[in-house]
Structure 1
Amino acid sequence: MTEQFTHALCALIRRLGQEAKQLRDNGLTIEQKGRQDFVSQADVYVETALRTWLKAQRPQDGLLGEERGLEPGSEGVWVIDPIDGTTNFILGMDYWCISVAYVSGNHIELGVIYAPDREEFFFAERGKGAFLNDQKLTITDPAPDAVVLGLGRSSRTAPRDYTRTIETLFEHGVEHRRFGAGALMLAHVAAGQVHGYFEAHLHSWDALAGLVIIKEAGGMHNDFLARNGLTQGNNAWAASPAVWQRLQPILLPDN
């Protein structure tokens, strides 16, 4: 991709983030898709705008979004979460983001995560490093007794699996946090605000941008695209190198 294209894409994502904030401030129309699963007109607006622009710029590519599903293409696929952390967004919390990734073959080529209320703009392109607000990111390992993981809870897995994970982490002296926006928590692994992130099942639009940002910052992650992860989702596990090596056998013993 050309620098001109990625610059225009980032400018569009920034603009849409600010427009989503304005829609929220003006009063949202909200629909409920399921238990604790909401969609607002801001979700629909952002995804529609991104799809329209990307289709015009790269008509050969496919599109996969949380709200409108898969539109196949002949080359790569753009994977879009218009607002990750919709419940937080609706409640006026700052922990939400727009997440956009590009996948070609078995590689996540590009990832963008923008948290407008926090003014955090993450960007990574495969082989070119990861950045937060234009500052290069480099993951460092924490002290073994100071590890804090981000966790996500999926409604597609049993509640007991989630509580068992918490118990296991406590047994191994690991703290955890859960903030309700997996894409942004993955980005915060790259920024060192948490040292890893685990969720038993995550959709690709929540995972892919954050995973490439972590990898380009020097971290490690599981093969999310295996077993049709792009369309079916997968478990998501990413961390700094030492934390990965230590907790991989515990969190994903069968991988």
Structure 2
Amino acid sequence: MTTTGDLALALALADAADAVTLPRFRAADLRVERKPDRTPVTDADTACEDRLRALLATERPDDAVLGEERGGDLGAGRVWVIDPIDGTKNFSRGVPVWASLVALVEGGRPTVGVVSAPALGRRWWAAAGQGAFTRDPARGVEEGRLAVSGVGDLADAYVSTTDLDHWRTLGRQDQWLALTRACWESRAFGDFWHHCLVAEGVLDAAVEPEANTWDLAAAQVLVEEAGGRLTDLAGGTRPDGGDSLTTNGLLHDAALALVRR
């Protein structure tokens, strides 16, 4: 059962992640390698995940851990899900839009989520039944409550994905184009950021034709606690469905009808 201690721990884990990742951002000696799936991984990714796993081994020794770099499984019990750097391509190129994602999943449902983007100076967090919040120092906000938009018609919606070409390589480009034609405007903010922007009410929808559990677990509880929905493209509510649609809730069914698999 989730407690305020779990959220406090997730926030502490995010602090620890920032302490590892931010000093390596734009470091002249940053090491970047290519994984078997051709996605990049840096020395900061592995160092960050190893640090968080070590902390969890001390603080929650009975809980399981699933991480992008070191693996694991999403079982039926309590599982901490870690993406040490979401947006590694941005990180490796010096683009400040990247974040560390920490989530607690219980019985297949995310119950705690923290998204920390230190190069942007931003953080978002949520726990089931406790609301969703953000810290935005540039606006003088230390703990602001999040709420999704009230846009109820796709024709008025602002929608995002990560990469148009990803839809093409999966043979699903027509679905994304159908959604963009139905919406007011489309962008490619991508990765963690567009989920957070939906939770903030800045975007109305975000869709990913392919995504991993560690990409979605923290975002799911954040968006749900802000009043929105995150499902896979079959309408399932677990974070391990392999793809995602994030909306303000009002638009979800209409958007899903266009991109459903």
TM-score exceeds 0.5: yes
Aligned match for 2:91, one of 89, 92, 97: 89
- RMSD of aligned residue pairs (Cα, Å): 2.7
TM-aligned CA deviation for residue 242 of structure 1: 1.8
Matches within 5 A, 1:40-189: 40-70=42-72, 75-133=77-135, 134-142=143-151, 144=153, 145-153=155-163, 159=169, 161-181=171-191, 183-189=192-198
Change (3 A) 1:209 1:54: same
Conserved 8 A contact 1:62-1:77: yes
Aligned match for 1:237, one of 237, 240, 245: 245
Alignment partners' CA distance in 1, 2:75 and 2:150:
40
After alignment, is 32-41 or 58-67 more displaced?
32-41
Conserved 8 A contact 1:61-1:73: no
Q: What do residues 103-162 of structure 1 show as CA deviations (whole Å, max 9, x unaligned)?
A: 111321111101111111111101110001121111122363331112134998752644
Conserved 8 A contact 1:64-1:78: yes
Report the 3-state secondary structure (helix = DSSP H, G, I; strand = E; otherwise coil) of the residue aligned with 1:193.
Answer: coil
Conserved 8 A contact 1:151-1:198: yes
Change (3 A) 1:73 1:139: closer
Alignment partners' CA distance in 2, 1:235 and 1:70:
19
After alignment, is 138-147 or 122-131 more displaced?
138-147
Conserved 8 A contact 1:113-1:122: yes
TM-aligned CA deviation for residue 169 of structure 1: 2.0
For structure 1, the residue ranges without an aligned partner over 5 or more in a row are none
After alignment, is 98-107 or 123-132 more displaced?
98-107
Q: Which amino acid aligns with 1:122?
A: W
Q: Which amino acid aligns with 1:149?
A: V
Change (3 A) 1:74 1:140: closer
- Tell me the equivalent position of 1:220: 229
Q: What do residues 166-187 of structure 1 show as CA deviations (whole Å, max 9, x unaligned)?
A: 3202331342221342x23212
Q: Which amino acid aligns with 2:110?
A: I
Alignment partners' CA distance in 2, 1:171 and 1:26:
41
**Percent identical residues:** 28
Conserved 8 A contact 1:47-1:67: yes
TM-aligned CA deviation for residue 243 of structure 1: 1.6
TM-aligned CA deviation for residue 25 of structure 1: 3.5
Report the 3-state secondary structure (helix = DSSP H, G, I; strand = E; otherwise coil) of the residue aligned with 1:127.
Answer: coil
Q: Which amino acid aligns with 1:138?
A: A
Alignment partners' CA distance in 1, 2:74 and 2:223:
27
Report the 3-state secondary structure (helix = DSSP H, G, I; strand = E; otherwise coil) of the residue aligned with 2:89.
Answer: helix
TM-aligned CA deviation for residue 205 of structure 1: 0.1
Name the one with the larger helix percent: 1
Change (3 A) 1:229 1:156: farther
For structure 2, the residue ranges without an aligned partner over 5 or more in a row are 136-142
